[in-house]
């Protein structure tokens, strides 16, 4: 029978993610108290992290989104970020190419400050040097899915982060069972 490549075991559970997101939200709230926080979520991968993190920040803030595909920015900002304290919210920094391109592009819009927050940092395969200001977790050197991260555009809606492995189609359906 054909096997789907899919995860078996959560590496970061729902509870761990929730706790860490709360901590990051508190840290960001404190760091940006006197500033004009503007969160930019990177789609598609950052959508669950963005929604949870933004609600864990107890400050008035603005949001916008950029769509990225294959290290390239494929959408445009809808708001002006000049003079704003911009915080990029990403799912994962792997080679660093996407983050480097994002920082370069956003810098041309003259924000007052520009920082980077990522749910996961996978430092093992870094090709571009990129400074990360807020990290949720350091990921293992493996392909991970869930909580926004995809494999062939699936598994983004899993509420936890897990490592891909081999399981059957039957087992796959059980992963979504309540
Ligand atoms: P980078 O440009 O190599 O740093 O990574 C950019 C994108 O690669 C991320 O935003 C993800 O969409 C994808 N990516 C890298 N590693 C993983 C992984 O382990 N699981 C799922 N997506 C990944
Ligand atoms: Mg992806």
pLDDT at 70: 86
For the chain, what is the mean pLDDT? 91
Of 59-68, 117-126, 168-177, give the lowest mean pLDDT range.
Answer: 168-177
The binding-site residues of ligand 1, defined as CB within 6 angstroms of any ligand atom, are: 45, 71, 91-99, 122, 143-145, 149
Residue, of 168 and 147, whose pLDDT is higher: 147
Confidence of residue 165 (pLDDT cuts 50, 70, 90): confident
Q: Which ligand is nearest to the CA of 145?
A: 1
Confidence of residue 169 (pLDDT cuts 50, 70, 90): low
Closest-lying ligand 1 atom to the alpha carbon of residue 101: 2
Confidence of residue 178 (pLDDT cuts 50, 70, 90): very low
Per DSSP, the residues of 124-172 read: GG--S----SEEEEEPPSS-EEBTTB-BTTBSTT-SSEEEEEEE-HHHH
Confidence of residue 6 (pLDDT cuts 50, 70, 90): low
- Residue bearing the CA closest to ligand 1, atom 6: 98
pLDDT at 2: 46
User: What pLDDT digit, counting tens, does each position of 83-99 carry?
Assistant: 999 999 999 999 999 99
Cα–Cα distance for residue pair 96/3, rounded to 1 Å: 31
Kindly provide the residue ranges of all beta strands, DSSP E only, lying in the chain, ordered along the sequence: 4-12, 37-43, 62-69, 72-73, 85-93, 113-121, 134-138, 144-145, 161-167
Cα of 115 to ligand 2 centre, how many Å? 21
Confidence of residue 173 (pLDDT cuts 50, 70, 90): low
Confidence of residue 8 (pLDDT cuts 50, 70, 90): low
Mutate which of 12, 88, 94, 163 for ligand 1 pocket (most atoms within 8 A of beta carbon): 94
Cα of 140 to ligand 1 centre, how many Å? 13
Cα of 154 to ligand 2 centre, how many Å? 10
Q: Is the pTM of this model over 0.95?
A: no
- Residues annotated as part of the active site: 94
pLDDT at 152: 82
Mutate which of 68, 149, 152, 153 for ligand 1 pocket (most atoms within 8 A of beta carbon): 149
Cα of 145 to ligand 1 centre, how many Å? 10
Average pLDDT over residues 135-145: 92
Of 23-27, 37-41, 153-157, give the lowest mean pLDDT range.
Answer: 153-157
Average pLDDT over residues 39-46: 98
């Amino acid at each position: 029978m054909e096997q789907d490549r899919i995860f078996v075991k959560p590496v970061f559970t729902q509870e761990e993610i929730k706790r860490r997101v709360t901590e990051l939200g508190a840290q960001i709230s404190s760091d940006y108290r006197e500033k004009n926080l503007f969160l930019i979520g990177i789609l598609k991968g950052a959508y669950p992290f963005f929604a949870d993190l933004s609600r864990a920040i107890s400050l008035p803030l603005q949001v916008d989104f950029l769509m990225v595909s294959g290290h390239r920015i494929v959408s445009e900002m809808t708001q002006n970020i000049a003079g704003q304290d911009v915080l990029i919210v990403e799912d994962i920094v792997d080679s660093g190419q996407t983050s480097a391109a994002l920082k370069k592009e956003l810098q041309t819009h003259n924000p007052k400050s520009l920082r980077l927050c990522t749910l996961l940092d996978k430092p093992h395969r870094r090709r571009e040097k990129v400074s990360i200001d807020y990290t949720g977790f350091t990921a293992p050197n493996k392909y991970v899915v869930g909580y926004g991260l995809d494999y062939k555009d699936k598994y983004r809606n899993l509420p936890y982060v897990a490592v891909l492995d081999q399981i059957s189609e039957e087992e796959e359906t059980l992963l979504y069972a309540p």
